Amino acid sequence: MTHQTLPTTPFSGQRPGTSGLRKKVTVFQQPHYLENFVQALFDVLHGNDQPATGLTLVLGGDGRFHNRSAVQTILRMAAARGYARVLVGQGGILSTPAVSAVIRRHGASGGIVLSASHNPGGPDGDFGIKYNSANGGPAPEKLTEAVYARTQTLQHIATSDSADIALDTLGPQRLEDTVVEVIDPVADHAALLRELFDFDAIRALFARGFRLRFDAMWAVGGPYAKAILEGELGAPAGTVVHAEPLEDFGGLHPDPNPAYADDLIAHLIGPDAPDMGAATDGDADRNMVLGRGFLVSPSDSLAVLAAHATQVPGYRAGLAGVARSMPTSTAVDRVAKALGMPCYETPTGWKFFGNLLDAGQVTLCGEESYGTGSSHVREKDGLWAVLFWLNLVAVTGQSVEDLVRGLWREHGRCVYSRHDYDGIATEQAHTLMAELRAQLPTLAGQTFDGHGLSPGRPKTDSAPSGGSEPRAAGSVGAMTIAWADDFAYTDPVDGSLSQQQGVRVVLEDSSRVVFRLSGTGTEGATLRVYLERHEPDASRHDLPAQEALAPLIDLAQALARITHHTGMHTPTVIT
């Protein structure tokens, strides 16, 4: 068992995206590809070739193909780096929110999450790696950019020739001078959730016959959901389906949304359907919640949780504030305004919530991409969201659908949809965005007649900075652009500036179209088009979203010339 210093050469393209470095498994399987990234990370964290003396690292992943082998590689490098202790989930497994919880509860200096989230797994699927800091949250851009820069100059990696750790055996083992402790992946996270929710009330709800179908999508959420829902809360066996984490997620796409959770949606239809449905994604940080025959949009979910938070023990004292990513609907802004609390608008990426949470300025956060969470950890948390909903249903006596309709009645409905165009050639996607950006100075005041844009009366409105106020709803027919910009965010806590975070086009009636390129894909580019329209008229709340948003969909085409640039006439995925 000796240290080894091995020569290496840089790989191009090791820049982390929205949430870590995500590539095809075959890319990660190249000799030294993972090692280079980890070496660069350790060099940035501790100083080039400096030891991590006395520090604790948390390590685990979503169990996808290549997880076990990557865990062993990283353990050897952590030992060579001189970490005092590594806490690794049994079987190499830890959900993303569990990594965050373990880092915080054990005072670790940080953690490594091995996941490509909702992206498909298996030998031809995706893999990923992400670093979370001592607060339990994704590393800020400053750090990920420094890691990327370091990957470009690396000349050697430090590792060890030690034997593999027995990942299935709980308890401490030694790897050189490092103690590797294999931990129960569920225990710390479960303990935290127990502190936040009224488990007695939820237990009583299940005892009354309330039926839930929780679809873990053959991913890492299964063991967590089974332990808590079936093990502690008395939900009948079989409540959690597709519960065993499989290396290829059963060949499915573990993304809980209307496009990929079709099996769950089908089970929630009909008179015998369960009262509530829920699903979590590959690494169990995303969630989807459904009532019987009723889909809850993630933006509405955040708004409902914010509106009723004080009915849940962990939030009884009220919320300091809320935050949403920019493309997320403004439903939560309306709730925050009514409750007199601040609402922040951040760029896409959970890492942007970290400072606000650390500074105590917000308590709940959420994103349109099926992520919701709170200050209990520094990641979005799928099971947390499901327990929050169960707690609300238990104590209010209202169904999932009642709770959402109550939100709409009070604040109007923010009709919302996201259209994804996947697999666009990267260059074409960048051309499309550049063309949009070039139009920005001339868009305010232009009107859209359903076919094309024409100059209208000039507007003086200027785009608000972060934390925009929802504008008054007005006539949809007008279709006059009030303002447009490329979202830039100045972090209110540390003053760091993030630019080019998405093109926003806002109409006079407060409707919006937002365009940005995904930062989580592994093949080509994905254009995301986010559409939102506020509907105050309750008699129109049941209009199908695509119908209610049709004029905005046409406007998006006219603005971005999507078909022209991509050759695609319809989105690949509509959520």
Which residues carry out catalysis?
117
Instruction: Compose the 473-512 pattern: x for residues touching ligand G16 by CB under 6 A, - for all others.
Output: ----------------------------------------
Nearer CB in complex with ligand G16: 325/480? 325
**Local structure of 399: helix, strand or coil:** coil
Residue 369 sits in the site that holds ligand G16 (CB under 6 A): yes
Site for ligand G16 in 41-100 (CB under 6 A): none
Q: Which of 23, 76, 81, 118 binds ligand G16 (CB under 6 A)?
A: 118
Nearer CB in complex with ligand G16: 16/519? 519
DSSP state for residue 360 in the 8-state scheme: T
Long-range contacts of 343-348 (CB under 8 A, 24+ apart): 343/467, 344/466, 344/467, 344/492, 345/466, 345/467, 345/468, 345/489, 346/466, 346/489, 347/487, 347/489, 347/498, 347/501, 347/502, 348/18, 348/501, 348/502, 348/516, 348/519
Axis crossing angle, helix 400-411 with helix 382-396, rounded to the nearest 10:
90
- Rounded Cα gap, residues 498 and 230, in angstroms: 43
549 phi, psi to nearest 5 deg: -100, 5
- Output the smallest distance, CB 202 to ligand G16, in A: 25
Give the interface segment with ligand G16, choosing from 364-372, 460-468, 473-481, 505-513 (CB under 6 A).
364-372
Contact between 88 and 96 (Cβ < 8 Å): no
- Output the smallest distance, CB 179 to ligand G16, in A: 30
Contact between 90 and 168 (Cβ < 8 Å): yes
* Alpha helix (H) residue ranges in 53-137: 67-81, 96-106
Give the interface segment with ligand G16, choosing from 237-245, 304-312, 516-524, 543-551 (CB under 6 A).
516-524
Contacts of 61 (CB under 8 A, 6+ apart): 67, 70, 71, 89, 92, 93, 94, 113, 114, 115, 220, 283
Please state whether beta strands 322-325 and 343-346 pair in parallel, antiparallel, or not at all (unpaired).
Answer: parallel
Give the interface segment with ligand G16, choosing from 229-237, 290-298, 486-494, 518-526 (CB under 6 A).
518-526
Size, binding site for ligand G16 by CB under 6 A: 17
Nearer CB in complex with ligand G16: 21/183? 21
Residue 221 sits in the site that holds ligand G16 (CB under 6 A): no
- Output the smallest distance, CB 193 to ligand G16, in A: 19
Site for ligand G16 in 332-351 (CB under 6 A): 348-350
Which residue type, as a one-letter code, is found at position 476?
V
Q: How many C-beta neighbours within 10 Å does residue 163 have?
A: 10
Q: Which of 285, 333, 345, 509 binds ligand G16 (CB under 6 A)?
A: 285
Site for ligand G16 in 309-328 (CB under 6 A): 325
- Output the smallest distance, CB 519 to ligand G16, in A: 4
- Output the smallest distance, CB 196 to ligand G16, in A: 21
- Rounded Cα gap, residues 482 and 471, in angstroms: 10
**For 25-56, b where at least 16 C-beta lie within 10 A, e where not — what string?**
bebbbeebbbbbbbbbbbbbbbeeeeebeebb
- Output the smallest distance, CB 561 to ligand G16, in A: 21
Q: Which of 286, 308, 411, 419 binds ligand G16 (CB under 6 A)?
A: 286
Q: How many C-beta neighbours within 10 Å does residue 80 have?
A: 25
Residue 378 sits in the site that holds ligand G16 (CB under 6 A): no
- Rounded Cα gap, residues 219 and 119, in angstroms: 11
- Output the smallest distance, CB 491 to ligand G16, in A: 15
Nearer CB in complex with ligand G16: 215/285? 285
Helix then strand then coil, in percent of the chain rounded to 5, is 35, 25, 40
Site for ligand G16 in 406-465 (CB under 6 A): none
Q: Which residues pair with 138 in a beta bridge?
A: 132
Nearer CB in complex with ligand G16: 274/519? 519
Contact between 114 and 98 (Cβ < 8 Å): no
Q: Which of 516, 544, 326, 531 is nearest to 421 (CA)?
A: 516
Site for ligand G16 in 524-553 (CB under 6 A): 528
Residue 367 sits in the site that holds ligand G16 (CB under 6 A): yes
- Output the smallest distance, CB 61 to ligand G16, in A: 13
Residue 256 sits in the site that holds ligand G16 (CB under 6 A): no
Q: Which of 36, 39, 109, 520 binds ligand G16 (CB under 6 A)?
A: 520
- Output the smallest distance, CB 279 to ligand G16, in A: 13
Nearer CB in complex with ligand G16: 199/487? 487
Give the interface segment with ligand G16, choosing from 25-33, 60-68, 367-375, 493-501 (CB under 6 A).
367-375
Nearer CB in complex with ligand G16: 292/378? 378
Instruction: Compose the 132-171 pattern: x for residues touching ligand G16 by CB under 6 A, - for all others.
Output: ----------------------------------------
Nearer CB in complex with ligand G16: 58/326? 326
238 phi, psi to nearest 5 deg: 95, -5
**For the chain, first and last CA: distance in Å?**
52
- Output the smallest distance, CB 329 to ligand G16, in A: 14
Q: How many C-beta neighbours within 10 Å does residue 202 have?
A: 24
Contact between 93 and 183 (Cβ < 8 Å): no
Report CA torsion sign: 225, 61, 85, 42. Answer: negative
Residue 518 sits in the site that holds ligand G16 (CB under 6 A): yes
Cα 162 off chain centre by? 36
Q: Which of 110, 314, 371, 373 binds ligand G16 (CB under 6 A)?
A: 371
Residue 301 sits in the site that holds ligand G16 (CB under 6 A): no
Nearer CB in complex with ligand G16: 19/56? 19
Report the interface residues with ligand G16, using CB under 6 A: 18-19, 117-118, 285-286, 325, 348-350, 367, 369, 371, 518-520, 528
